[in-house]
Chains A and B, each alone.
Chain A
């Protein structure tokens, strides 16, 4: 059994193509867990908190096929299809 891992990337379609199983959509190529070059430090951190927390939820979730989440993914929907 391997190590569960989640990939945070701004290119989820590429990650899907190469076979990653848990994919969290990140914000930008250059800073996947950053908001923007112009955001205030606390805005940036809030975004990061949001996306990393979601990524950890995906990490803990049981998935049986390749799964892409965004910050808007409704976990309840996914776990109760």
Chain B
């Protein structure tokens, strides 16, 4: 497949799939390589005679997240340099930061008039960026299904290029973009409504025609006492645990939370803690653990009377690739526990 025939595809990958490294390489700044790298090679083969991957652009997930505007502009510039007809971002599967970056990259390029497609799991926070410019193919949460994901992304690409789409998003293998198309159906709305209600009442499955949004809106709570009288607790989803991880907090897809004592501790010692958050990174690159859980500063504020007190335990889980329903349950459980401890307010840190 030469560069000058058929579909010119450029692929966007993160530091891991681009072969730079794991979490420790997440600050990789964007760069471009000729030809396919990593999973883009499979994509290139799968395109067959229809075209090929002429270039791969790589960017670290943390670099993208922390410099979003600049990173997106640079990634876009690099992608356009290779003169693509098609852009494939990811797929990101369950990775939240990667999914977010893929969604930004794909929709941005789609707006320049080039077909862009990405893929991710239905719980990926990247889907929060859904717009009419974003084509996202559903995938599992695990990169073990790469081959299947690429196959279905290309199926969508071919349909979109041939403008062969019959029915809605789900019929064509992508997440609904919120675009409403008028479709003439035989059965009127009143009949469809009653039919749906009868199915619901009978406990049968039914498909809603308009899906309500998922995330609930919790009204903000108020501090019931002055801050100087409030007992404040620290909670982190950064997976900060005593060295040795005594309760075996998983670094990803956790369903558990734990509490550890900081009674009498006014400064977290680097050797006493490690971080369970993501697959490969450990605490070494993080230095002072107070940079994730600000015990040192909270003790100062406690001593100075700014807060009534710092609770003697801190709460921890690992939010990395955490399933939404577990996050909700864990939040409720921790909240309930904190209530029993007369904790009045919480500082939550996120990595």
Contacts and interface: CB of A to CB of B under 8 A. Distances in A.
Interface of A: 1-11, 13-15, 17-19, 21-22, 26, 28-34, 37, 41, 44-45, 48-49, 52-53, 55-56, 59-60, 62-67
Given A14-B100, A53-B306, A22 B220 contact: yes
A33 B349 contact: yes
A37 B221 CA distance: 35
Nearest to A62: B222
Given A5-B345, A29-B26, A14 B351 contact: no
Chain B, interface size: which category?
35 or more
A14 to B, nearest CB: 6
Given A14-B125, A17-B125, A34-B292, A29 B298 contact: no
B294 A29 contact: no
B contact face: mostly helix, strand, loop, or mixed: mixed
B300 A3 contact: no
A7 B348 contact: yes
Interface stretch (B37-45, B133-141, B196-204, B210-218): B210-218
B294 A33 contact: yes
Interface stretch (B143-151, B176-184, B283-291): B283-291
Given A19-B215, A32-B349, A33-B349, A3 B344 contact: yes
B339 interface: yes
B191 interface: no
Interface of B: 26, 62, 65-66, 68, 96-97, 100, 125, 128, 215-224, 226-227, 232, 235, 238, 285-288, 290-292, 294, 296-298, 300-301, 306-307, 335, 338-339, 343-351
A10 B218 contact: no
Given A17-B125, A18-B215, A52-B297, A29 B65 contact: yes
A6 to B, nearest CB: 6
Contact of B62 (A2, A6, A30, A64): A30
B249 to A, nearest CB: 18
A61 to B, nearest CB: 9
